[in-house]
Amino acid sequence: MADETVGVVGAGIVGLATGREIALRRPGTRVVVLEKEREVAAHQTGHNSGVVHAGIYYAPGSLKADLCVRGVSLLREYCQERKLPYEETGKLVLAVRDDELGRMANLYERARNNHVPELRRVAKEEIREIEPHAGGIAALYSPRTAVTDYRAIAREFAADIESAGGEVRLGFPVAAVTGVPGGIEVASDQDGDRLRVDRLVLCAGLHADAVARLARGAREPRIVPFRGEYMLLRPERADLVRGLIYPVPDPRYPFLGVHFTPRVDGSVEVGPNAVLALAREGYTRGRISARDLAGLAAYPGSWRMAARHWRTGVKEYRGSLSTAAFMKDARAYVPGVGVRDVVRGGAGVRAQALDRDGTLVDDFRIHRAGRITAVRNAPSPAATASMAIAAHIADAVLADA
């Protein structure tokens, strides 16, 4: 495969990790990462809360579970080697009601099957020793759960690609993907720029389905954008939280619920909620895309999802519009925190894949067809698992090289 060119669409952390893995694994291969924005990590990666997940939540045997657990050790080692932020703050998963105890027990068994290191059950009294201001009646404690700076990691991955002789080409929005003799031509709508590659990897995140269609890939699953909005604890109240504090998740949803996240810069986020965004890049309520809305409305899965989850959607929108409603859930986990202790923070948009039957796709979906490998669903913990996902993709891309 030496002297071949591999194109990667998308300079988020998964695309950059994949480009880096291929460039380092097969010296002589030219890797070109194509990104429509003028910087790397502009979307999901750059709006990530920075959590390095330990693998507690994911179904044993799933791609998520396997790649998350493998990815943690790779990411930790990389951050240590490059002197990038990596702080093991620990995480409490709190049960606040008796009816959550059964789910928490199931979560514990799932985490044990995933070989989450040093995870243990915590009684009510010990919760206060770990987090003096936390509520809850029981908890799981993961001391190895960490926080990092994924934007900084993405920039380092980009530098590794360039050091290996590759290229990260910014300002290249992909408009067409065409098969040509012996390869693939990728065209931009900027100045008619074109690139011929031998193999192509699609890591387009919020635009994963649209780019896959350009490459004549399957039309499903579709991407549905969910905006996650955050509050920030005021600096003088940041000492209410030492480490990560999470709820026991509802297994019906791929979202983890409102939680407390200390960041590597010293701030503490509260959130996110999960509201349907009205644009793929809808980071604010006022950002609306008629094209994106028309696509959602035309897809049968959207209506089936809405019929199944409309009550949860109403609750999430209430929290989006009202700080008091947002903080009501948060106070169950840190009772001392209130509306006056927070200010509005940032927001991210999650690229959530949706099947035609209305099912929110939970596991990673990565498919290869001929010369093209497409990442169709890679939500959280994709940043944690990015280096392991990259190895998985590289195995597929290089299988017959």
Matching residue, tokens 């890797």 = 31
Q: Which of 22-36, 289-303, 319-333 has the lowest mean pLDDT?
A: 319-333
pLDDT at 189: 85
Report whether pLDDT(2) > 70: no
- pLDDT (average), residues 311-335: 90
Work out the burial of residue 39: count CB atoms within 10 Å of its CB; fewer than 13 is exposed, 13-18 middle, 19 or more buried.
middle
d(CA 228, CA 326) in angstroms, rounded, equals 12
Structure tokens at 282: 């809808």
Cβ contacts of 274 within 8 Å, gap of 6 or more: 226, 227, 228, 253, 255, 316, 350
Residue with tokens 């840190």: 334
Please state the rounded mean pLDDT for residues 224-251. Answer: 94
Q: What is the pLDDT of residues 103-115, one digit of tens each?
A: 999 999 999 999 9
pLDDT for residue 254 is more than 70: no
Q: What pLDDT, in 10s, does the model give residues 273-290?
A: 999 999 999 999 999 999
DSSP state of 123: E
d(CA 157, CA 369): 26
User: Which residues, in sequence order, are bridge partners of residue 353?
Assistant: 223
In angstroms and rounded to an integer, the radius of gyration of the C-alpha atoms of the chain is 21
Model pLDDT, residue 1: 53
Q: What is the rounded average pLDDT for all residues in the chain?
A: 95
Interval 211-233 mean pLDDT: 95
- DSSP 3-state assignment of 321? helix
- Containing 229, the helix (H) or strand (E) segment is strand 222-233
Query: To the nearest 5 percent, what fractions of the chain are helix, strand and coil?
Result: 35, 25, 40
Q: What is the mean pLDDT of residues 51-63?
A: 95
Label residue 45 by pLDDT band (50, 70, 90).
Answer: very high
Tokens of 86: 């990596």
Q: How confident is the model at residue 332 (pLDDT cuts 50, 70, 90)?
A: very high
What is the pLDDT confidence band of residue 191, given thresholds at 50, 70 and 90? confident
Alpha helices by DSSP H, listed for 215-299, are: 290-298
Q: Which pLDDT value is given to residue 343?
A: 96
Instruction: Please report the pLDDT score of residue 220 as a whole number.
Output: 94
The angle at the Cα of 241, spanning 238 to 247, to the nearest 5 degrees, equals: 130
pLDDT at 192: 80
> For the chain, what percent of residues have pLDDT higher than 90?
91
Other Cβ atoms closer than 10 A to 223: 25
Sign for the CA dihedral angle at 16, 21, 24, 30 comes to negative
Among the listed residues 309, 345, 372, 383, the one whose alpha carbon sits nearest the alpha carbon of residue 178: 372
Contact assessment for residue 393 and residue 201, using Cβ atoms and an 8 Å cutoff: yes
Segment 24-32 shows an average pLDDT of: 96
- φ/ψ of 141, rounded to 5, equals -125, 125
Instruction: For residue 310, name the pLDDT band (cuts at 50, 70, 90).
Output: confident
Tens digits of residue pLDDT in 127-161: 999 999 999 999 999 999 999 999 999 999 999 99
Comparing CA positions, the residue from 357, 356, 378 lying closest to residue 367 is 378
Among 368, 364, 320, which residue's Cα sits nearest to residue 344? 320
Picking from 10, 17, 45, the residue whose alpha carbon sits closest to that of residue 380 is 45
Q: Read off the pLDDT of each residue in 153-175 and give the average, rounded to a whole number.
A: 97
Asked if residue 273 lies in contact with residue 226, where contact means CB atoms within 8 angstroms, the answer is no
DSSP-assigned beta bridge partners for residue 297: none
* Structure-block tokens of residue 5: 């060119």
Question: Mean pLDDT throughout 47-61?
Answer: 95
pLDDT digits (tens, 9 = 90+) for 341-379: 999 999 999 999 999 999 999 999 999 999 999 999 999
User: What is the rounded average pLDDT of the residues 293-299?
Assistant: 96
Secondary structure (3-state) at 148: strand
pLDDT at 161: 98
Q: Picking from 46-50, 90-94, 251-255, 386-390, which range would have the lowest pLDDT averaged per residue?
A: 251-255
**Of the candidate ranges 198-202, 314-318, 374-378, the one whose mean pLDDT is the lowest:** 314-318
Percent of the chain with pLDDT over 70: 99
